[in-house]
Amino acid sequence: MNLTLKIWRQKDSDTKGQMVDYKVTDISEHMSFLEMMDVLNEQLVNAGEEPVAFDHDCREGICGMCSMYINGEAHGPDRGITTCQLHMRMFKDGDTITIEPFRAAAFPVIKDLVVDRTAFERIQQAGGYISVNTSGNTQDANAIPISKHAADEAMDAATCIGCGACVATCKNSSAMLFVGAKVSQYALLPQGQVEAADRVKNMVAQMDLEGFGNCTNTGACEVECPKGISLDNIARMNRELMKANIS
């Protein structure tokens, strides 16, 4: 198929960017979206132009690196996938596809479609861990039984890949689905209880400091999340924060 691409080009964080039109031809419907981008870049390199910079790595939907806003949706029109798992069969011959970086004041553009998501790093550093040193003498892994229900729920929260689609999608650029998932994972496990109150306070404080917006419960993040992280995690974080401030 033949396509018109409208792509955000921006030299670096200090330069203003703009949308630029490109044409690609003979795209197979079996290609992944990023393979289509590879075709475009090969074409640009051969023409002596600078290829479009975009983040990608594992190309199997788990590293969380890829981050495109395609036709007005984070990771494009399909559900439960990342950009690298999006396939061209979702599009039709002759389509115009708009490709933009994930947008949020807290995610500044580095170049073209590459954004800086280190705000997520700092939120995790503020408390996204359990304080335990490596010793080989921690207690036996089966010493504290954990109900299957709690373990499964913690796992569901922990599947977050930190791609930032929730922020990109949110009309308020809120990071609460991401932070809620991390807070929930630890809040659901006995190992996480000791530091639960400090963790949620510190992570929320850092989230606010980074300039993410507020949650207005539109639920868009849950729909666009490639890993189906549930809004319940935000509710749980809210509860945890109330608990932490009351007790």
Residues 81-100 that bind other proteins (CB under 8 A): 81, 85, 87, 89, 98, 100
Interface residues for other proteins in 199-228 (CB under 8 A)? 204-205, 207-208, 211-220, 223-224
Number of residues this chain uses to bind other proteins (CB under 8 A): 129
Q: By CB under 8 A, tell whether 106 contacts other proteins.
A: yes
Residues paired with 99 in a beta bridge: 7, 70
Q: Judged by CB, which is closer to other proteins: 94, or 131?
A: 131
Q: By CB under 8 A, tell whether 198 contacts other proteins.
A: no
Q: Report which DSSP code applies to 9.
A: E
The Cα diameter of the chain in Å comes to 64
Write the interaction track for other proteins spanning residues 137-156; mark x where CB under 8 A is met and - where it is not: -xxxxx--xxxx--xx-xx-
Q: Which helix (H) or strand (E) holds 67?
A: none
Antiparallel, parallel or unpaired: β 114-115 and 68-70: unpaired
Write the interaction track for other proteins spanning residues 227-246; mark x where CB under 8 A is met and - where it is not: ----xx-xxxxxxxxx--x-
Interface residues for other proteins in 58-77 (CB under 8 A)? 58-65, 69, 71-73, 77
Shortest distance in whole angstroms from residue 133 CB to other proteins: 5
Residues paired with 115 in a beta bridge: 109
Q: By CB under 8 A, tell whether 177 contacts other proteins.
A: no
**Closest of 108, 63, 104 to residue 82, by C-alpha:** 63
DSSP string covering 11-53, please? Answer: SSTTS--EEEEEEE-S--TTSBHHHHHHHHHHHHHHTTPPPPP
Antiparallel, parallel or unpaired: β 3-9 and 68-70: unpaired
Q: By CB under 8 A, tell whether 1 contacts other proteins.
A: no
| Of the candidate residues 1, 24, 31, 196, the single one contacting other proteins (CB under 8 A) | 31
